[in-house]
Amino acid sequence: MGRLFGTDGVRGVANADLTAELALGLSVAAAHVLAEAGTFEGHRPVAVVGRDPRASGEFLEAAVVAGLASAGVDVLRVGVLPTPAVAYLTGSLGADLGVMLSASHNPMPDNGIKFFARGGHKLADELEDRIERTYRSHSSGEPWDRPTGAGVGRVKDYDQGFDNYVAHLVGVLPNRLDGLKVVIDGAHGAASRVSPEAFARAGAEVVTIGADPDGLNINDDCGSTHLSGLCAAVVEHGADLGVAHDGDADRCLAVDREGNEIDGDQILAVLALGMREAGTLRKDTVVATVMSNLGFKLAMEREGLTFVQTAVGDRYVLEEMKAGGFALGGEQSGHVIALDHATTGDGTLTGLMLAARVAATGRPLGELAGVMKRLPQVLVNVPDVDKTRVGTSPEVTSAVAEAERELGATGRVLLRPSGTEPLVRVMVEAADIEQAGAVAGRLADVVKSALG
């Protein structure tokens, strides 16, 4: 049986992989593990529970709340809010645990459970492992020690969560957005109300699309994974910029006033220069993953900033930021972490900070994003190969070295085994798309013949 917890909680098809029984059992197990770890010592434990608008979130929320309360944890139910809102409220309310029900950018039938520790930080891997072991031991028949009478948890709706979170977002902005017209695509997800409200309170004129969730339309041809609608809307409304979220709003991608897409690397570049100017970019360093475009690295070096690379995944970016004491990091996909204001990627905060930079400089977003030039990037997936040998094959190593010599300083090669499939990803960046495609094709052929 595989590990339940992935890099971002437990995910699967709701009511098939992720059942009410699993949600309830994991919640009880989390309560017991945290109690044993001393998290609840000396007080009555409290948990914050939120969800995105998926239809399945309704019954899964009920299961999580029932599990926590049956284990003696008082529950503050905050309803439909972004993942970073649940993290923020867990910290600001002094709760012992946060639980978010969402599958982020995944299609509607999926759902997931993500736990936050006290302070709104991601639960440590070791605690996730203990929760999983505890759940498995009890699901096979070992009885739970259950409180009775006044010992059971109480459940309350915490309706102030929306206003508290929006006030926090607006309060951390360096300047207002008066005079800006912004189109927001909420992906029919968790930010459908939050993001437009925050931008409006900050002074922007707001146009919304993808902001009518019905439980079934989340991420459906909208949001950060489908930017064409936002591109068209920005041009149609003559807006200064557009902001797109994913289902749980921990991501943000953008569109400039000409309708051009602005990815996570470009957003990081714009924010990094703004934060350096304000003196808030600690150690003049930005953290991003090995999948960041080479153009980002070259731009940061040209601007005199340090670029620290990590493995793919926002969890690795966050770990490096905490270890190094850095303030800004993120991924090309739009996960941007501003650690002075959030404990996780926050798409609404990212969009607000980006808009604030446009307002403060009076320069168009496209011009600001021009600080970096995205080099053409070609990604080829090579299936049905022994991905474990990608780093040890002499043929592959020799082919990569030859490709790197050909590309020189204006290109890059990255071979990466897939974390979930029997394939190797070959990524090549070069000064022009034809060269990138040719080099990637040659490398893919070598990988296939050497590892097939």
Grouping H, G, I as helix, E, B as strand and the rest as coil, residue 14 is strand
Catalytic pick from 104, 192, 292, 393? 104
Task: List the alpha helices (DSSP H) in 51-114.
Answer: 56-70, 83-92
The residues near 401 (Cβ < 8 Å, ≥ 6 apart) are: none
**Binding residue per annotation — 140?**
no
Q: Which amino acid type is present at position 212?
A: D
Helices (H), 208-302: 228-237, 264-278, 294-302
CA-to-CA distance for 354 and 446, rounded, in angstroms?
42
End-to-end CA distance of the chain: 27
Active site residue 195: no
Q: Checking phi first, is residue 146 left (phi over 0); if not, alpha (psi -120 to 50) or beta?
A: beta
DSSP class of residue 121 equals: P
- Is 250 annotated to bind a ligand? Reply is yes
d(CA 428, CA 438): 9
From residue 206, alpha-carbon distances to 124, 174, 175 in Å are 38, 19, 17
Q: Which residues of 159-186 are buried (b: 16+ CB within 10 A; e: fewer)?
A: eebbeebbebbbeebeebbeebbbbbbb
CB atoms within 10 A of CB 129: 14
Q: Which of 164, 209, 213 is closest to 57 using CA atoms?
A: 213
405 CB-near residues (< 8 Å, 6+ apart): none
Tell me if 246 is assigned to a ligand binding site: yes
Alpha-carbon gap, residue 353 to 342, rounded angstroms: 12
7/48 Cα distance (integer angstroms)? 21
Phi, psi dihedrals of residue 40, rounded to the nearest 5°:
-95, 5
Within 301-340, strands assigned E span: 306-310, 328-330, 336-338
Q: What residues form the annotated binding site for Mg(2+)?
A: 104, 246, 248, 250
Binding residues: 104, 246, 248, 250
- Catalytic positions are 104
